[in-house]
């Protein structure tokens, strides 16, 4: 299926969010996730199913004021 990862069209084989993070190269990274604008807590990633066209945001710490 095709999803939008941080605004970029991305091909994805994984079915669940935790598998998707592995596949997309985020293993071991400190990140938070949102699917279609809704926060998905770390503990809910294994049961969160992704569908074609979903918007996935993967965010991490950055400098801020």
Partner 1 sequence: MASFYGIDVENRLMLGTAQYPSPAVLAEAVRRSGAQIVTVSLRRESAQAREGQAFWQMIRDLGVRVLPNTAGCHTVKEAVTTAQMAREVFETPWIKLELIGEEDRLHPDVFALVEAARILCADSFQVFPYTTEDLIAGEKLLEAGCEVLMPWGAPIGSGLGLANPQGLRAMRGHFPGIPLVVDAGIGVPSHAAQAMELGYDAVLVNTAVAKAGDPAAMAEGMARAVEAGRLAYEADPIDARDMAAPSTPVMGRAFLA
Q: How far is the CB of 62 from partner 1 (least distance, A)?
A: 4
CB nearer partner 1, residue 19 or residue 26 = 26
What residues contact 58, with CB distance under 8 A and at least 6 apart? Answer: 5, 6, 21, 24, 26, 31, 32, 33
Considering only residues 20 to 59 of the shown chain, the ones binding partner 1 according to CB under 8 A are 24-26, 29-34, 37-39, 41-42, 57-59
Cα–Cα distance, 56 to 65 (Å, whole number) = 25
Asked if residue 18 binds partner 1 (CB under 8 A), the reply is no
9 binds partner 1 (CB under 8 A): no
């Amino acid at each position: 299926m095709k999803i939008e990862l941080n605004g970029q069209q991305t091909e994805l084989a994984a079915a669940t969010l935790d598998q998707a993070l592995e596949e997309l190269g985020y293993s071991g990274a400190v990140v938070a996730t949102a699917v279609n604008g809704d926060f998905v807590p770390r503990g809910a990633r294994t049961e969160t199913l992704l569908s074609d066209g979903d918007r996935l945001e993967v965010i991490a710490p950055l400098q801020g004021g």
